[in-house]
Amino acid sequence: MTIRNVINAFYGLDGSNVQMTPETYVDVINTKNEMVEAELCAWCGTYASTFKDKQSKKEYSISGLCQDCQDETFKEDNVYDREGYPSE
Ligand SMILES: [Zn+2]
């Protein structure tokens, strides 16, 4: 069970129609936390072990997204990929 399953159920994309309640929201958060603890991606369910930088690893602890899912999710506003990283 990934958060994608819960979200698909919520929007009826899997044929069911779950009522979103505060409990459902807590379920999503708990599911995400369990996945991160097991080092799995909360979205696609694959093993999430390699990240390209500290930033991505931190993002994983927040969202539970593996590197591939992060790249997919943030591709349109990854200004650093377009313009390069600012020098510190
Ligand atoms: Zn993933």
| DSSP state at residue 15 | S
Orientation of helix 54-63 relative to helix 22-37, angle to 10°: 140
pTM listed for this prediction: 0.72
Give residue 35 CA to ligand 1 midpoint distance, Å: 11
In the numeric block, the tokens 């694959």 are attached to 46
* Dihedral in degrees, nearest 10, Cα atoms 25, 42, 58, 37: 90
Could you tell me which residue, 38 or 73, shows the higher pLDDT? 38
Could you tell me which residue, 7 or 40, shows the higher pLDDT? 40
User: Phi and psi (nearest 5°) for 64?
Assistant: 80, 10
Joined together, the tokens standing for residue 60 give 């994983």
pLDDT in tens, 22-43: 887 888 889 899 999 999 999 9
Q: How confident is the model at residue 88 (pLDDT cuts 50, 70, 90)?
A: low
Give residue 78 CA to ligand 1 midpoint distance, Å: 18
Give residue 67 CA to ligand 1 midpoint distance, Å: 7
The pLDDT value given to residue 15: 78
Q: How confident is the model at residue 75 (pLDDT cuts 50, 70, 90)?
A: confident
Give residue 17 CA to ligand 1 midpoint distance, Å: 24
